[in-house]
Amino acid sequence: MEVVVCAAAHDAAALAADAIGRLVTRKPEAALGLATGSSPLGVYDELARRVRTGTVSLARARGFLLDEYVGLPREHEQSYRSVIHRDLTSRVDLDPARVHGPDGTAADLEAECAAYEDAIARAGGIDLQLLGVGTDGHIAFNEPGSSLASRTRIKTLTGQTRRDNARFFGGDPDAVPRHCLTQGIGTIREARHLVLIASGPAKAEAVRQLVEGPVSASWPATALQLARHVTVLLDPEAASSLERLDYYSETYSAKPPWQGL
Ligand code: GLP
């Protein structure tokens, strides 16, 4: 796991955009795992800027969402389909038809989850997965207690997550759907490169657990310790509870310039 503490949020966004840029240069049809939430917004701004200036093209790439609320139609402004369209697809040259996500209004939600797993497998797996982390350590919508081997399935959101996400639903936690479809931790761990972004003091404990804590279903993000290639991009506040900060910055500053994330 590589931990990079960035002086400013736009540095983390630029590093993640660099990694995506390098990936699509090497593999234009790459499968990008797209996260919603505030954490990846800077990356999407940066990608939009680079696509506009012609330094990056996502025209042949494919996108796969991490999760979706159950019961929200696609066109609902808070469905993750709409969110990713607003935050990314509408601003870059990635064809919306090439962006996939589980349908939270499907009549048979279990079949929908299985079909989504198949779609990811048919795409050859996710090349680079962007991730945020919840204050309780959830990744995608894998709440504490989620199996570390789980696949895409239906989950019940915790009260904490519904309170955290109430800001997108007029401040009312009861307006946040109770259930979601989410890639499992086992699904996420299979991505060839995981890039997690966290900022602010509210994320410090989740980050400490994810980087230095024991692997535990109580902190789902700790499962990233079992993934093959993980980059954690932090601001100083999110990094503030880490014990081995000196080592992480020494490792990063000693990295040869030609080596990306
Ligand atoms: C939501 C999303 C996650 C996201 C998390 C953190 O619950 N399902 O994918 O990582 O919240 O959100 P934020 O980045 O806004 O802090």
Averages of pLDDT over each 10 residues, the chain, 261 residues: 91 96 98 96 98 98 98 96 97 97 98 98 98 95 97 96 93 97 98 98 98 98 97 97 96 84 87
| Alpha carbon separation from 30 to 53, 175, 185 (Å, rounded) | 21, 36, 21
CA-closest residue to ligand 1 atom 12: 37
Convert 145-193 into a string of H (helix), E (strand) and C (coil).
CCCCCCCCEEEECCHHHHHHHHHHCCCCHHHCCCEEEECCHHHHHCCCE
Terminal-residue alpha carbon distance, the chain: 10
Work out whether strand 62-65 and strand 31-34 pair parallel, antiparallel, or are unpaired: parallel
Asked whether 161 lines ligand 1 (CB < 6 A), one says yes
What local confidence, expressed as pLDDT, does residue 256 receive? 82
Counting atoms of ligand 1 from 1, which one is nearest the CA of 67? 8
Condensed to tens digits (0 to 9), the pLDDT of residues 55-69 reads 999 999 999 999 999
Which bin fits 4, alpha (ψ -120 to 50), beta or left (φ > 0)? Answer: beta
Residue whose CA is at the smallest distance from ligand 1 atom 3? 140
Give the active site residue among 143, 164, 190, 235. 143
Please check whether residue 99 is in contact with residue 44, taking contact to mean a CB–CB distance below 8 angstroms.
no
Cβ contact 203:196 at 8 Å:
no
**Dihedral-angle region of residue 9 (phi above 0 means left; psi in -120 to 50 means alpha; beta otherwise):** alpha
- pLDDT of res. 257: 76
Closest CA to ligand 1's atom 2: 140
Decide whether any atom of ligand 1 lies within 6 Å of the 39 Cβ: yes
Q: DSSP code of 17?
A: H
Q: Indicate which atom in ligand 1 lies nearest the CA of residue 161.
A: 7
Q: Is the CB of 183 under 6 A from ligand 1?
A: no
Q: What CA–CA distances, in Å, run from 259 to 19, 89, 252?
A: 10, 29, 10
Of 65, 146, 164, 196, which is best to mutate to test ligand 1, by the most ligand atoms within 8 angstroms of its C-beta? Answer: 164
**Which atom of ligand 1 is closest in space to residue 200's alpha carbon?**
16
> Which ligand 1 atom is nearest residue 80's CA?
8
81: its two tokens: 């389909």
Give the 3-state secondary structure of residue 203: helix
pLDDT in tens, 219-242: 999 999 999 999 999 999 999 999
Whether the CB of 89 sits within 6 Å of ligand 1: no
Residue with tokens 């279903």: 217
* Distance of CA 37 from the midpoint of ligand 1 (Å): 4
Catalytic annotation on 67?
A: yes
* Chain position carrying tokens 């929908």: 112
> Is 143 designated active site?
yes
How far is the CA of 157 from the CAs of 63, 79, 95, 113, 246, in angstroms?
24, 15, 31, 17, 36
Residues 19, 261 contacting (CB under 8 angstroms) = yes
Model pTM?
0.96
